[in-house]
Chain A
Amino acid sequence: MADKKGKGIPAEAITSAVGKAEKGQLDELARLQGGDESVAYDLIIVAIYKAFKRRGGSHAQCVTATKQVIDSADIKVVIN
């Protein structure tokens, strides 16, 4: 189990994950299968960002909201 990453996540990490998803670079299952935790975190970041997007937020609002929610929660990630 990986430790939480949520505390004080930089906004750049969110825009980077979202950008990769939009460009189709997130489908890196090989890296995930190789134990690269950053891919798992990016998947979670994008899931939260898209949830805000579905609720009508602009890109800037969704990036801010994603950061706030991740920072407010103790998020643990299990990869298996």
Chain B
Amino acid sequence: MADNIGDLSITIRVNKQTGELEVLKGQVVDTGKAIEGLGQSSAGSSEQLAGLAGSITKLASATAVLAFLKEAIAEAAAEQEALRRLEAQMNALGLSFDLNRVRIENWTAAMVEAAHIEDDVVIDALGRTIQRTKDLDQAMKLVQLSQDISIATGKNFENTLDMLSRAAGGAQRGLMMMRQEFGAQLAGVKTNEEAINRLAATYGGASTTAKSASLSFGDMWRQLKEAGETVVKGVLPAFESLVEVLGGPVMIVIKTVAVGVGQILSQILQELSSAAGGIRRLIEGVVEIVFNLFTGRLRAAKDSAVQLGKDLLQMLKDDLAKQSEIMAEGDRKLKEIWTGQKNAVKQNLVEVSNFRAVETEKETQQVLEQMNRRIDELRRQEAIELADKMLLNEEKIAILERYAAAEIAIVTETKAQVGEEELKSAEKIAAILDALALKKKQIEQAGLTNWKQGLNDWAKYNMDVNARVADIGKQTFEGLANAFGQATAKMLTSGKGFAQTFESLFRNLASQVIAQLTAMIIKAAVLSAITGGSGTLLGVKMAEGGRVYNPTYALIGEGGEPESVVPDSKAADFARGVLAGKGTGSRSTVAAMPSGERQEASLGGGVTVNMGGVNITVGAGVNDQQIRQLITALGNETAEAITLALSMKNLADRNEGRAV
């Protein structure tokens, strides 16, 4: 097996009764594993993505050979089928197919070689003609003549053959149709046979001429390719030489068209998906133009040139349209992902903001309501005392002063209470918000940055996929040329179905690689977002100490020094042990395991809570209620982060394996 191509296997069934061939199974060995391996070898950077194209050249070469083999077998099957149809038609007319089989096959091969049309098209045309002529030799001549006329004039082969075979069959309308079609060329002819002979004298042998012209232009084409990547540089001098040789104002028109064709071709060559078809059409068109010029059909030459330009332009337009669709799809997916991401973050912020407002308002409102109730009670007492009509003015003033002082005291006390509560609340909330802000920043930095970078890489790669497909195509051709030589490589890639097979195959390959890498990038971003860049899903880290109240996954000992985990019930004994020098390290972490109890007493030394790598310290005097609130707030925040991460993971799962 050639070293420069990958492994391929093909199973061909041969029908014992008919000799017909059929491809049962054909595969490039382990394509899936090869792609998976490529994906795993890449961490997703742009440089590594760019290197993938080169890595699959072997795979691509094997696939190209497999595509050729399938096409070869399909062509053989089509030829066999056409021959069977012809056999039935000839036998029905009493003509011996078996005696003429070799002759028919060799004649078909010559027709195919001269005109580059399919065997089954030629054989079917022969069968239809035999139905009218009842004569194999005459049918062969008519098919041949129709092909010559088609090549020389650009008229439709099938229509021309239909017209000639009707005429040969003696149809009166045949002569009329031929006169309409060929005009003055049939002036003076009186019978169908005479008309056919006149056309044979004019156009007979055109296929052979075209074939030799095709070969010479094939040489020219090879020289152009060797001359450099820019085809215009080669095409234009060739056409200019032609102008010099032939001269005349008609050639100026041809030259103008040629310039356009050269420019279009240079663009087509940049896109592999059109290149194979474009090159073939160009060679055909140039052959047609030159043949018409050499045979003096200037108008036909001009028409051919114009049609060639239109065809090539249409090919280019079709390809550009395909590219636009792919790019639009990439943009749409990018926007969809970004919109979902932004909405999730926005929702998170809104909920945090709501939490803050509710907590502050609730506590302040309680203090103010208590103040209002006390003041109301004072004023009620004051009114009762002032209702005594026996009071002297001095006594009334004294009462008013006393109640005013009391009221002021209540307000002052309330202000202090509100202020204190607000202060406590502010401290508490500030700690929460600081933690949230830090956590959010980490998520944004670790997650969103990765997301953005990953998605940008993905979008960039996606937009560049056409160029990469073209690169793969060039490398594949080079791989085939290295393995088999230039001549075989050219034949392998010149089949009519090859361009479509190749384009489809590599778009699919590129899509699979992109989808896999996209999923990897997204998963990496999700992991980073969940862990705050720590790269672990083990839970809260306790290197700086900590305290937990519920069953909690925690990472301990990660600080590189001994740590202790002590339940509350054993904390006192443990502390005494440490003070007595029984500790094993310079720092002990008190991490209360779930006991189901809640201590309402204030904790003397303050508490440090570590959530996802963020340390939150609440100072001395804070009570258990406040700590619970803190934990609740952080729990909510963590839940938000996990919700966000899960939505990202879902997005990644949905994108995994999706073809772009």
Contact = CB atoms under 8 A, between A and B. Distances in A.
Interface in A10-63: 21-24, 27, 29, 32-33, 39-40, 43-44, 46-48, 50-57, 61-62
Given A47-B21, A48-B69, A72-B5, A54 B116 contact: yes
Nearest to B489: A65
Interface in B17-75: 17-19, 21, 24, 62, 65-66, 68-69, 71-73, 75
A22 B110 CA distance: 12
Contact of B484 (A32, A40, A43, A68): A68
Contacts of B76: 43, 46-47, 50-51
Given A47-B73, A73-B65, A57 B491 contact: yes
A53 to B, nearest CB: 7
B370 to A, nearest CB: 90
Given A48-B69, A54-B112, A80-B15, A74 B7 contact: yes
Nearest to B25: A76
Contacts of A40: 14
Contacts of A46: 76
Given A52-B491, A61-B488, A71 B2 contact: yes
A29 B17 contact: yes
Interface string B293-312: 00000000000000000000
Given A24-B105, A55-B491, A75 B75 contact: no
Contacts of B15: 80
A77 interface: yes
B10 interface: yes
Contacts of B116: 54, 56
A69 interface: yes
Nearest to B18: A29
Contacts of B485: 64, 68
Given A69-B65, A76-B11, A64 B495 contact: no
A76 B119 CA distance: 26
B8 interface: yes
Chain A interface bracket (under 10, 10 to 19, 20 to 34, 35 or more)? 35 or more
A33 to B, nearest CB: 5
Given A47-B72, A65-B487, A77 B494 contact: no
Contacts of B118: 54
B12 A44 contact: yes
B1 interface: yes
A2 to B, nearest CB: 10
A25 to B, nearest CB: 9
B109 interface: yes
Given A54-B112, A73-B8, A43 B19 contact: yes
Nearest to B102: A24
Contacts of A53: 109, 112-113
- Binding site of B, secondary structure by majority: helix, strand, loop or mixed? helix
A47 to B, nearest CB: 4
B106 interface: yes
Contacts of A57: 487, 491
B570 interface: no
B576 interface: no
Given A77-B12, A78-B14, A69 B68 contact: yes
Contacts of B494: 55-56
B19 A69 contact: no
A47 B13 CA distance: 13
Contacts of A23: 102
Interface residues of B, number: 50
Contact of A48 (B5, B13, B72, B483): B72
Contacts of A51: 68, 71-72, 75-76, 495
Most A CB within 10 A of own CB, among B9, B14, B62, B71: B14
Contacts of B218: 56
B487 A72 contact: no
Nearest to A29: B19
A63 to B, nearest CB: 11
B16 A64 contact: no
Contacts of A27: 19, 101
A65 B484 contact: yes
A78 B12 contact: yes
B616 to A, nearest CB: 65
A47 B495 CA distance: 14
B151 interface: no
A80 to B, nearest CB: 6
Nearest to A74: B9
Contacts of A80: 13, 15-16
Contacts of A72: 1-2, 5, 8, 62, 65, 483-484
Nearest to A2: B14
B488 A32 contact: no
Contacts of B75: 47, 50-51, 54
A28 B235 CA distance: 50
B459 to A, nearest CB: 38
A68 B484 CA distance: 7
B492 interface: yes
A14 B118 CA distance: 22
Contacts of B17: 29, 33
A67 B21 CA distance: 19
Given A50-B75, A65-B491, A44 B21 contact: yes
A46 to B, nearest CB: 8
Those 3 A-B pairs whose CB atoms lie nearest each other, nearest first: A51-B72, A24-B102, A47-B76
Given A65-B484, A69-B488, A80-B16, 9 more contacts: A27-B101, A50-B119, A51-B75, A53-B112, A64-B485, A68-B485, A68-B488, A69-B69, A78-B24
Interface of B: 1-2, 5, 7-19, 21, 24, 62, 65-66, 68-69, 71-73, 75-76, 79, 101-102, 105-106, 109, 112-113, 116, 118-119, 218, 483-485, 487-488, 490-492, 494-495
10 contacts: A7-B1, A21-B105, A24-B101, A32-B19, A50-B75, A55-B491, A56-B116, A69-B68, A74-B1, A74-B7
Interface of A: 1, 7, 21-24, 27, 29, 32-33, 39-40, 43-44, 46-48, 50-57, 61-62, 64-65, 68-69, 71-80
